[in-house]
Structure 1
Amino acid sequence: MEWIIATLVIALGLSIVWGWRQRQIALQSPPPPPQHDSFSPLFHAAAHAFDDGVVLVDADRRVRYINRQAEELLNLSHTISIGQGLITLARDYQVDAMVEEAIASAEPRESIFQPLGRQRTLRLRAIPLDDGARGALLLVRDVTQLSLLERARRDLVANVSHELRTPLASMKLLVETLQSDPPPPVAKRMLDQIAQEVDAITQLVEELHELAQIESGRVALQLVPAPLAPLVARTIERIRPQMDRKHLQMTTDVPDDLPQALIDCNRVGQVLLNLLHNASKFTPEGGCVSIAARVITVGDGSPPPPGLPPSHAPGQWLLLSVTDNGIGIPATDLSRIFERFYKVDRARTRNAGGTGLGLAIAKHLVEGHGGRIWATSIEGEGSTFYLTLPVA
């Protein structure tokens, strides 16, 4: 910011010198044609070279200069802006009051501003000129992305804190009870519960680390042609003990003659395991879970699978689906289930556990293959999760 101010001050000084020189020339030559403004070409070039918006106002807070960037950021027109009061252009009394205060106090002032009708966040900094006697220089910077990142950081901290609070509080209570020297059977049960809470915290940390690695692009997929049927069979064997405990019926429809998929087998297996784990978790005892696969062609005019995203790339794809007859997902939550830490109605799923990161990780992994993942659901009847993978 300091180098911007210094450059503009130098440019203004040169502008004054240039103006004085022009007046000297004018004494010896015919009057020149009227100029659009009194600023030198050097000042115009310097102001337009900045990424930030530049607005010059006089002591009465009327606009005397505005560069192209400021016009775009504030949604203004140069021809309309010159000579207008700042409050008329900004349509925000706080901005006008900030500049007025900067001029009156001869001290820089800064504030955050969101223009009416625009999804933007701007940082405005007012620097008085000549202790405010000549008005102020207003620098305008688009900080929309920084604001979004800051909001995401706050949400992440809040969610992690929430997810850690429950197991840590439980562990504290269990440790305090153990310190009272309970009977051996009770102590053993409590130690088992502590171990479960430690596992939950470990899972949260591992999934956070994995999601950070994936989002930063540091996870490279090892894409090779591979059949889906053996991969699905191995994944079902891993989840079967969990399904057997709830007496769930598992059915598969993955033909052996499907074309091979171009995939990272470990990562796709991870996605399928997460979907089957969720299906098992939210399906009542004695329910049904199924997994199926088939070839689809997107963009050829044939009926698409339910819920296919309109932006899906055309061509031939392998479509996998995991269906359950569990509690289902409310329609209001369906569009958000792939967000980090998002959990559907915590009151309904309090005993289900989980970190809320599994589907976010699955989304990144599937999209890393060029495919898409989405879900359809009817609350109280069940859900179907779909994912597409490229044909080798």
Structure 2
Amino acid sequence: SIIHTDSITRLNKRTDRRNCYDYTMPDCFVATAAVLMFAANALLIVYYVKERERSHFDRDLFEELDPAYIRLEWDHRIDNTALWTAAGFINGFAWLFLCVPIIELSWILSRRGTSSTSLHLAIAFFALAGSFTEWISRLYFVGSNIATRHLARNFNLDRWISNNVQDDLGWRALEVTHLITSAYVWFLDAFEWICLSIILILTYSSVRHWREHDSSTFDGCWNALGLFIGLMCILEFVAEILRFDGYRTFGPIAIVYAVLNRLILIPIWLLTLSFLLPRATAKSEAAPNELELSTMDTAVAPPANTNPLSPPAAAFAQSPLPEVSSVAESSVASTLPPPESVAESSMASTLPPPPESVAGSSMASTLPPPPDTVVQSQEPDDGPSDLVLT
């Protein structure tokens, strides 16, 4: 019982310490991911607005690969390439910081790998896949952008067939190459929204199952917001694909979705998670301690009055057992005769009978006993027997 009390005291101290610190302090990884994702998406939206407001855009000239138009496009890209690159790298770091708490959340929701293992492995897998593809697309874009910008500034793109004629074939070839690499990066960025959508939808399903047993750890409104953001991420993916096909038509729709989803909803969901995750982690760590204490309790104080398996066992359990001292005394008293009778019998056995008693006994044996003698001889016989029994 002393060990049990000490264990409860230590557990209460740890719980009080978590209540004082962990429940009020947000998770640093989630908070950092929220700030970085907000900054990256803000820079990216600024780039989208500048791209849409450029005055020289002409769809027909773009499809004809007009060299003059291509030069203007490259001037615009070189001027704003730092904004696009910074947004991409900040978003990549945001995904790196987001991977750790998402994997930790999936571990907690799986009850340390004992519940719905495949679902929570899928959450962790898509978190890693989103981070990996985001960094691959960033590195690929930076490498291709450095190479194409170097070509546009320093290489001969005006005269390929003849030095006397400006054919601008180099600009057209450069634009075709840029379109191919941009499409690759574009679709990798769009896949980021697919990963985030799957993560949020699966998290909603897991938290909903969790709240059937514990409704205090994760908030229901936060969980519903995650489902709504997951559906919005699917629309973000569609808007990104349509923006690549028809920029003037679907560009404003993509910007509206980006402002609502990237700058408002996703940061709110992440900041709320930064406060919920420490509490969930504390409860997850306290669960094995509670199980250990319950096991210790049953080992120290086993349950009494157990149900017997058979009627004889029940009768034996209900009948009170006599004390050991009383049993010993009664057995000794029943086996040993009284001290006075023992002394008299020993003296009578050692002394020889007198002659008169011998003669009297012989005469008494020949004569029939009178009635008085029979009565007197029976009374002493009953007395010693009663004395011995008592």
Higher strand residue share: 1
Higher helix residue share: 2
Task: Work out which of the two has the higher radius of gyration on C-alpha atoms and give 1 or 2.
Answer: 2
Q: Which has the higher contact order (CA 8 A, sep 6+)?
A: 2
TM (normalized to structure 2)?
0.23
TM (normalized to structure 1)?
0.23
